[in-house]
With several copies, the nearest count.
Chain A
Amino acid sequence: MVDSLESLRLAPLTLPPPTPAKAGTESLELLANVLRWMLRSRFIDERLEKLQRQGRIGFHVGALGEEGAILGATAALKADDWLVPCYREFAALLYRGYPLERYLDNVYGNCDDVVQGRQMPDHVTSRALNYLSVSSPVGTQITHATGLAWAAKLKGERRVAAVFFGDGATSSNDFHAALTIAGVHKLPTLFLCRNNHFAISVPTSQQCAATTFAAKGAGYGVLGLKVDGNDVAAVVAAVREARARALAGEGPTLLELDTYRLGGHSTSDDPTRYRSQDEFEAFKAKDPVIRLRQTLVQAGAWSEALEADALAQIKAELSQAVSRAEAKAKPPLSSVFHDVYAEMPWHLRAQWREAEAACTAKDASAAAEEGDQDV
């Protein structure tokens, strides 16, 4: 098994893309579905960026250029596998079946948001879909994946825990801790490092002096592989292999999915401050959407008509989801006080009453002011 992975590691990061045949057993149908989701992901990113610029939403952190790594890996997992996100993987959740409107509810932080407007946009979650809660602190989710995998192993469940994180996150405490433990206990964990070449403005050359992030595996007794993250078929194959290894008791795999962030870090970022147009253009040519589309068109599994259809569909769906989410009310004041504990203790009940009183007073004085103006 390891041998076939090794060959992927050596696949050069260049065009032309590998033929679908190289992807082994991946069906063209699956790849076409992944492409459809990549297009959807990109459409959503572009739309949300506009909404943010218009001041209609507060923030968005997108996946432009990284759709192949994210959706290829997601497609290689089973629904039962734990999927532990970083903050850039909203498309993975949607791929698993999360309703688009619920995702928009989260972006708007409205009363139907699963997390009740408590977190920033894109910090979404779904227990039903085995998709953990997004956290902002970089890297903290990596040890959680180790624990989820540990539980699966101890309970004898046939599932793995796959965790996404960035190149910057490899410097975090949790990366180190997670690989140390997963290595020693041979836990069924898939460490998916989206190397998008930047931690906000800091390039990989200033993040780590190792030649590859995959090279870190050896220090933990963990198989480390570098995969062309813009080659979707390679991603699917590598993640499937890693998953099979994990379930066979062969332990965790660290997969460096080498890709590139084509957008800013988030809607708050201006990437022209730290990277050249030349670099950007060079990577844009390796866009995973372009590559997969080309491969599938050659194989007769994709067409302009299918693409137009996919785009029309997401456009309609998203318009509706946005207008519905935007129209919804804020979460109620009670949402501030619930879910701190399973049962609300006395001091939170008291503070909730305080907050209600403050709201009532504010409303009253607002009403009074309005009254003044009426006069």
Chain B
Amino acid sequence: MSEAVALRQPGGSGGAATAQRRGAEPTGERTLVQAINAALALALEADPNVVVLGEDVAQIGGVFRVTEGLKARFGQDRVIDTPLTETGIIGAAIGMAIAGMKPVAEIQFADFIYPAFDQIVNEAAKYRYRSGGDFHVPLVIRTPYGGGIKGGHYHSQSPEALFIHTPGLKVVVPATPADAHGLLLSAIDDPDPVLFFEPKRIYRAVKGPVPAGAERVPLSEARVARRGRAVTCVAWGAMLYEALAAAAAVADDGIDVEVIDLRTLWPVDITTLRQSVEKTGRLVVVQEAPRACGFAAELISLVCEHAFLHLEAPPQRVTGYDTPFPYTLEHDYLPLADRIAAALRGTARFA
């Protein structure tokens, strides 16, 4: 089931991906990869200070071809293949950013971000604070993220919680081509370091319209992807489609689920979240990452702080398990629609 789901479009009120269902011309439809590529091209064109750097990003346009064609168009000084050092990519990008450039650094897989972890959490995240605002680091770190492509432990990880726990960083995970486009442009505008996680499972599986212009999607605004009154289901990235599929499945049982696509994980849009839970009284959070100390825990704690008296059932988590990400059994590991549907049913019927 899950494979098919990944190919479907998000439903709901977002509008971003409704064109396909209405049978729009294929010309308007883009994949996530194409949307990101287009946003990068717009940014490179608009501002000479924007540079793209990372392993294999220039000559071959990245191992997922997200940066394809950019080197040919903007030259090797602005689209740069680096040596194999994530420490160096991020460390040097921080220096560039301090000097007034806008580096968009790629980490080839989110699983390989850890050699740069010190630079991200001890340097980029704290630079503005520790220099009293004298310097700041307008850096975007793009990286393919999440499971579902048979990548095993090291090509499947979802480390967003580590960065949300680090003050000074922003964390974005788009789920639709339009959002990928508009959020990436906002991330590049942003004066602070932004982690931009790209759900690679849906890099090509999802298509949708993308504005031709440079319209921004503002950071820290969630999107209600499906309206409902019975349970609030929060998701992001590739799991949004699983949540929507689960919502559709339980709708047959008369359970009316509201699905929220967070889009920006941190700083989170607490208003949308609180209002939804105040309405539904029930919460299910979907997260690919291992459960313990994941972002779902933070969301549940926030809801306890902001809307406890509205809760009519224990808030639930549907997550990856607290194990490394497996290869053969990845579909048993991932919180796919079946598991979400079961949690939605359990939560909706709790009394």
Whether B59 lies near A133 (C-beta < 8 A) is: no
Closest to A332 in B: B329
Name the B residues within 8 Å of A357 (CB-CB): 342
Whether B85 lies near A361 (C-beta < 8 A) is: no
- Check: A241 CB closer than 8 A to any chain B CB: no
Whether B56 lies near A109 (C-beta < 8 A) is: no
- Check: A144 CB closer than 8 A to any chain B CB: yes
> How far, in angstroms, from A171 to B81 measured CA to CA in the complex?
14
Choose among B154, B268, B329 the residue that contacts A336 (Cβ–Cβ < 8 A).
B329
Whether A109 lies near B342 (C-beta < 8 A) is: no
A-B contact pairs, 5 of them (CB 8 A): A118-B132, A147-B99, A150-B92, A176-B85, A355-B332
Whether A180 lies near B88 (C-beta < 8 A) is: yes
* A238 vs chain B, min Cβ distance (A): 23
Choose among B78, B95, B131, B323 the residue that contacts A147 (Cβ–Cβ < 8 A).
B95
Known contacts: A125-B135, A172-B84, A358-B332. The answer to whether A133 contacts B130 by CB under 8 A is yes
Choose among A149, A178, A361 the residue that contacts B342 (Cβ–Cβ < 8 A).
A361
Known contacts: A115-B132, A184-B83, A333-B329. The answer to whether A143 contacts B99 by CB under 8 A is no
Known contacts: A143-B95, A358-B338. The answer to whether A348 contacts B131 by CB under 8 A is no
Whether A118 lies near B60 (C-beta < 8 A) is: no
> How far, in angstroms, from A200 to B81 measured CA to CA in the complex?
11
Known contacts: A148-B96, A347-B292, A362-B338. The answer to whether A336 contacts B87 by CB under 8 A is no
- Check: A117 CB closer than 8 A to any chain B CB: yes
> How far, in angstroms, from A7 to B112 measured CA to CA in the complex?
39
Whether A151 lies near B96 (C-beta < 8 A) is: yes
- Check: A136 CB closer than 8 A to any chain B CB: yes
Number of interface residues of B (CB under 8 A): 78
> How far, in angstroms, from A125 to B94 measured CA to CA in the complex?
16
Given A146-B95, A147-B97, A274-B59, 18 more contacts at CB 8 Å? A58-B150, A115-B132, A118-B327, A137-B111, A137-B154, A138-B84, A138-B112, A140-B91, A143-B91, A147-B99, A171-B85, A172-B84, A181-B88, A202-B59, A341-B128, A341-B168, A357-B342, A361-B338
- Check: B165 CB closer than 8 A to any chain A CB: no
* A84 vs chain B, min Cβ distance (A): 8
- Check: A18 CB closer than 8 A to any chain B CB: no
> How far, in angstroms, from A201 to B63 measured CA to CA in the complex?
9
Whether B332 lies near A174 (C-beta < 8 A) is: no
Name the A residues within 8 Å of B291 (CB-CB): 347, 351
- Check: B115 CB closer than 8 A to any chain A CB: yes
* A222 vs chain B, min Cβ distance (A): 13
Question: Per-residue CB proximity of A338-361 to B under 8 Å, as 1/0?
Answer: 111110011110010011011101
Binds A, one of B7-15, B119-127, B230-238: B119-127
Choose among A119, A133, A143 the residue that contacts B135 (Cβ–Cβ < 8 A).
A133
Name the A residues within 8 Å of B119 (CB-CB): 140, 143, 174
- Check: B51 CB closer than 8 A to any chain A CB: yes
Name the B residues within 8 Å of A345 (CB-CB): 220, 267
Whether A351 lies near B83 (C-beta < 8 A) is: no
Interface residues of A in 300-351 (CB under 8 A from B): 330-331, 333, 335-342, 345-348, 351
Question: Per-residue CB proximity of B322-345 to A under 8 Å, as 1/0?
Answer: 111011110011000011001000
Name the A residues within 8 Å of B150 (CB-CB): 58-59, 120
Residues in B lying within 8 Å of A, measured CB to CB = 51, 55-56, 59-60, 63, 77-78, 81-85, 87-88, 90-101, 103, 111-112, 114-115, 118-119, 122-123, 126-136, 150-155, 167-168, 170, 190-192, 220, 267-268, 270, 291-292, 321-324, 326-329, 332-333, 338-339, 342
Name the B residues within 8 Å of A338 (CB-CB): 133
Whether B92 lies near A146 (C-beta < 8 A) is: yes
Interface residues of A in 166-191 (CB under 8 A from B): 168-169, 171-174, 176-178, 180-181, 184
- Check: A114 CB closer than 8 A to any chain B CB: yes
Q: Bin chain A's interface residue count.
A: 35 or more
Name the A residues within 8 Å of B95 (CB-CB): 143-151, 161
> How far, in angstroms, from A103 to B21 measured CA to CA in the complex?
46
- Check: A51 CB closer than 8 A to any chain B CB: no
- Check: A110 CB closer than 8 A to any chain B CB: yes
> How far, in angstroms, from A337 to B127 measured CA to CA in the complex?
14
* A103 vs chain B, min Cβ distance (A): 14
> How far, in angstroms, from A122 to B118 measured CA to CA in the complex?
21
Closest to B305 in A: A350
Interface residues of A in 240-285 (CB under 8 A from B): 268, 273-274
Name the A residues within 8 Å of B126 (CB-CB): 135
> How far, in angstroms, from A145 to B88 measured CA to CA in the complex?
11
Count of chain A to chain B residue pairs whose CB atoms are closer than 8 Å in the complex: 272
* B209 vs chain A, min Cβ distance (A): 29
Name the A residues within 8 Å of B135 (CB-CB): 125, 127, 132-133
* B127 vs chain A, min Cβ distance (A): 6
Most buried by A among B127, B167, B324, B332: B332
Choose among B99, B129, B155 the residue that contacts A118 (Cβ–Cβ < 8 A).
B129
Name the B residues within 8 Å of A140 (CB-CB): 91, 118-119, 122-123
* B2 vs chain A, min Cβ distance (A): 10
Known contacts: A119-B130, A135-B123. The answer to whether A171 contacts B83 by CB under 8 A is yes
Most buried by A among B90, B92, B323, B332: B92
Closest to A271 in B: B60
Known contacts: A125-B134, A178-B91, A340-B128. The answer to whether A330 contacts B329 by CB under 8 A is yes
Whether A133 lies near B134 (C-beta < 8 A) is: yes
Choose among B85, B111, B168 the residue that contacts A180 (Cβ–Cβ < 8 A).
B85
Whether A342 lies near B192 (C-beta < 8 A) is: yes
Whether A202 lies near B55 (C-beta < 8 A) is: yes
Closest to B101 in A: A151
> How far, in angstroms, from A362 to B94 measured CA to CA in the complex?
40
Name the B residues within 8 Å of A212 (CB-CB): none
> How far, in angstroms, from A164 to B100 measured CA to CA in the complex?
22
- Check: A123 CB closer than 8 A to any chain B CB: yes
Whether A117 lies near B94 (C-beta < 8 A) is: no
Closest to A273 in B: B60
Known contacts: A140-B122, A199-B55, A361-B342. The answer to whether A178 contacts B324 by CB under 8 A is no
Name the A residues within 8 Å of B270 (CB-CB): 346-347
- Check: A152 CB closer than 8 A to any chain B CB: yes
> How far, in angstroms, from A154 to B112 measured CA to CA in the complex?
27
> How far, in angstroms, from A178 to B89 measured CA to CA in the complex?
9
Whether A148 lies near B98 (C-beta < 8 A) is: yes
Whether A135 lies near B99 (C-beta < 8 A) is: no
